[in-house]
Amino acid sequence: MVVREPIVTVDDEGRRLVWGAEGGPMTHYNGAVQVFVGGTGSRVVWTADFLPHEASAVIGPMLEAGMAAMKKALDGPGT
C-alpha cells in the first residue's frame, strides 16, 4: 500500500505531532502522537482515527507493527 502522509501540525511545546493520510483503502485517516513526561520516564500516546471501520483488518496489524518498532527504538539497545 502506498499513501501520502502530510503533516498537519507540529507542537514542540506540547510534544505532539499530527498527520493525515491520503490514498490507500481509507476514506479518512488522522494520526497523532504525543509524549507525556511523568515520574522517571515518559509515556507515548499514539491515536489513529480512520474510516471505513472495515479497514481495521488491514490498518490494525500495521499499527501493531508500528507500536512494536517504536517501543524497541525507545527502549534502547539490549531490551
The dihedral through the CA atoms of 48, 54, 55, 60 has a sign that is positive
Distance CA 25, CA 69 (A): 23
Give the integer Cα–Cα distance in Å for 24 and 61: 15
The pTM assigned to this predicted structure is 0.79
Using CA atoms, how far apart are residues 18 and 20, in angstroms rounded to an integer? Answer: 7
Kindly report, residue by residue over 5-64, the tens digit of the pLDDT: 999 999 999 999 999 999 877 889 999 999 999 888 889 999 999 999 988 888 899 899
Residue recorded with cell 517504536? 70
1, 55, 68 from 62: Cα distances, Å: 11, 11, 10
